[in-house]
Homo-oligomer: A and B are copies of this chain.
Amino acid sequence: MYSEPTTFSAEEYFATQLPPPTLQHEIERVREFISRQAKEGRNVVLVTSGGTTVPLELNVVRFLDNFSAGTRGATSAEYFLKAGYAVIFMHRQFSLQPFSRHYSHSTNPFLDFLEIDGVDQEGSPPIVSVTPSKRADLLDVLTMYKAVHAEGTLHTLTFVTVNDYLWLLRAVSQELSVLERKAMFYLAAAVSDFFLPRQRMSEHKIQSGKGSLHIEMDQVPKILKPMVDEWTKDGFIVSFKLETDDNLLLPKAKAALERYGHQVVIGNDLHRRKYEVVFVSRKAGTSPRASPPGSPTSAANEDQFEEYWLRIPIPDASIPPHQVKEIEEDIIVELVKRHTAWVSRT
């Protein structure tokens, strides 16, 4: 299944692939947002969320994708907002978003709880209102939603492809560096490890009927390294590791910290991610060794890391969805605590 790697450095990647056409415009709006939050004294967190696609054709019909509805990112963004953070929510188009996530068109369609009440005034259309039994739940969400919009503490950005994601991430990180330690990066998006360079993409829809499909892709550059070293200045960076094989979770989390030198890896197993996560971080007073490029990833020194397991009970199926405890609530409490310590340590 594998051949020898074609490894792009981040620098080579950005030198050979094209930015999304709206990038400049988007970044100006991000700059305004950050500058307003800075004036108002808020911490800002960049939350990335949802999967990225890898188009296989220039006129995109088919693409490789990563599984992610965006639950972790959308839920976490809400708790960051509740904790007083301003949030740049950078998410995959059509993935879940804070607040509206409670009203999925599939599982909780809002049209089901609207009622036509009869005529308000002569000639004007009938009043449409929310069924009394649904009001209490909706009111919580709606009140928070309106407060966030009134305060202007949520800014939403959209990506589809892994290329959109990489360009946006770099540009937003650079903008956030003005906040220094007051910026947090919560990288919950499920980013493809592979991409198909523009130069090798098929212009039209790949025709079937000719045989089985082979796709040869290149590795996406590891962007945490330049993010830590170049793009940001003292930002508090949290990355995620999702695995289905438990034995790989901790070694891979530690290897990532060793290699990139950022602050926290949150490890989670695909099937237990709603009830259990592990925070892996470097012990105070230790620092990543300056290892030669290409040195084995298993060489991370076990003694230099600490693990903090966070678990919540698996919710009883009889509890209404709105009242179920979400693990993101506790994740954000823990991160805000760590980030506060990080900000004060100047």
Asked if residues A114 and B135 are in contact (CB atoms below 8 Å), the reply is no
Alpha-carbon gap, A69 to B61, bound state (A): 11
Alpha-carbon gap, A6 to B210, bound state (A): 10
Asked if residues A217 and B208 are in contact (CB atoms below 8 Å), the reply is no
Contact check: which of B120, B129, B212 meets A216 at CB < 8 Å? B212
Asked if residues A194 and B212 are in contact (CB atoms below 8 Å), the reply is yes
Asked if residues B65 and A94 are in contact (CB atoms below 8 Å), the reply is no
* A285 interface residue per 8 A CB criterion: no
Cβ of A130: which chain B residues have Cβ within 8 Å of it? 114, 127-129
Asked if residues B142 and A114 are in contact (CB atoms below 8 Å), the reply is yes
Asked if residues B53 and A212 are in contact (CB atoms below 8 Å), the reply is no
Asked if residues B217 and A213 are in contact (CB atoms below 8 Å), the reply is yes
Cβ of A64: which chain B residues have Cβ within 8 Å of it? 62-65
A326 to chain B, nearest CB (A): 19
- Residues 233-274 of A contacting B (Cβ, < 8 Å): 242-245, 248, 270-271
Contact check: which of B97, B192, B204 meets A245 at CB < 8 Å? B204
* A310 interface residue per 8 A CB criterion: no
Asked if residues A270 and B5 are in contact (CB atoms below 8 Å), the reply is no
Asked if residues B129 and A142 are in contact (CB atoms below 8 Å), the reply is no
Of the candidate stretches A11-19, A104-112, A224-232, the one touching chain B is: A104-112
* A136 interface residue per 8 A CB criterion: yes
Asked if residues A212 and B204 are in contact (CB atoms below 8 Å), the reply is no
* A206 interface residue per 8 A CB criterion: yes
Alpha-carbon gap, A74 to B286, bound state (A): 56
Cβ of A124: which chain B residues have Cβ within 8 Å of it? 132, 135
- Residues 119-157 of A contacting B (Cβ, < 8 Å): 120, 124-130, 132, 135-136, 138-139, 141-143, 145-146
Asked if residues A126 and B135 are in contact (CB atoms below 8 Å), the reply is yes
- Residues 76-110 of A contacting B (Cβ, < 8 Å): 93-94, 96-97, 99-100, 103-106, 109-110
Asked if residues B128 and A127 are in contact (CB atoms below 8 Å), the reply is no
Alpha-carbon gap, A69 to B212, bound state (A): 26
Q: Among the interface residues A53, A124, A142, A212, which one has the most CB atoms of the partner chain B within 10 A?
A: A212
Residue on B nearest A62 in the bound complex, by CB: B66
Asked if residues B129 and A136 are in contact (CB atoms below 8 Å), the reply is no
Alpha-carbon gap, A146 to B116, bound state (A): 10
Cβ of A205: which chain B residues have Cβ within 8 Å of it? 242-245, 270
Cβ of A135: which chain B residues have Cβ within 8 Å of it? 124-128
Residue on B nearest A206 in the bound complex, by CB: B1
Cβ of A106: which chain B residues have Cβ within 8 Å of it? 93-94, 97, 158
Contact check: which of B67, B94, B215 meets A60 at CB < 8 Å? B67
What are the 9 tightest A-B residue pairs by CB atom distance, in nearest-first order? Answer: A193-B208, A129-B129, A59-B244, A128-B130, A100-B105, A5-B211, A2-B211, A125-B135, A65-B65
Instruction: Using A103-B110, A129-B129, A214-B216 as known contacts, list a sample of 6 further A-B pairs with CB atoms less than 8 Å apart, ordered by residue number in A.
Output: A3-B212, A96-B105, A103-B105, A125-B135, A194-B213, A205-B243
Chain A interface residues toward B at CB < 8 A: 1-6, 53, 57, 59-67, 69, 93-94, 96-97, 99-100, 103-106, 109-111, 114, 116-117, 120, 124-130, 132, 135-136, 138-139, 141-143, 145-146, 158, 190, 192-194, 202-219, 242-245, 248, 270-271, 297
